[in-house]
Amino acid sequence: MKFTIQVSEGPYTHQASDSAYQFTRAALEKGHEIFRVFFYHDGVNNATRLTTPPQDDRNVVNRWSELAAEHNLDMVVCVAAAQRRGIADADEAKRNGKDADNLAPGFRISGLGQLIEGAIQSERLVVFGD
Amino acid sequence: MLHIVNKSPFEKNSLQSCLSCAKEGSTILLIEDGVYGVLKNSAVSDAITGAMKGMTICALEADVKARGIADKVIDGVKLVDYNGFVDLTCDNEKLQSWL
Instruction: Select B2-98's CATH number: 3.90.1150.10, 1.10.1130.10, 1.10.10.10, 3.40.1260.10.
Output: 3.40.1260.10
Tell me the mean pLDDT in the region A110-129: 98
Tell me the mean pLDDT in the region A14-19: 97
Q: Which of A34, A78, A81, A87 is catalytic?
A: A78
Domain extent listing, chain B = 2-98
Interface with chain B: mutation pick from A22, A25, A34, A125, highest number of B CBs within 10 Å: A22
Q: What is the pLDDT, as a whole number, of residue A112?
A: 97
Q: What is the pLDDT, as a whole number, of residue A114?
A: 98
Q: What is the pLDDT of residues A84-114, one digit of tens each?
A: 999 999 999 999 999 999 999 999 999 999 9
All residues of chain B having their beta carbon less than 8 Å from the beta carbon of residue A128 are 6, 97
All residues of chain A having their beta carbon less than 8 Å from the beta carbon of residue B4 are 126-127
Mean confidence (pLDDT) of chain A: 98
Q: Distance between CA atoms of A6 and A4, rounded to whole angstroms?
A: 7
Give the number of domains in chain A. Answer: 1
Host H or E run for residue B87: helix B82-91
ipTM: 0.97
Q: Which residue of A has its CA nearest to B2?
A: A126
Strands (E), A48-123: 75-78, 107-110
Size of interface A-B (CB pairs under 8 A): 48
Q: With contact defined as beta carbons under 8 Å apart, do A73 and A47 qualify?
A: no
Task: Identify the CATH number of the domain in which residue A67 sits.
Answer: 3.40.1260.10
Show pLDDT as tens, one digit a residue, over chain B (99 residues).
999 999 999 999 999 999 999 999 999 999 999 999 999 999 999 999 999 999 999 999 999 999 999 999 999 999 999 999 999 999 999 999 999
Q: What is the pLDDT, as a whole number, of residue A101?
A: 98
CB atoms under 10 Å from CB of A96, counted, come to: 10
Q: What is the pLDDT, as a whole number, of residue B55?
A: 98
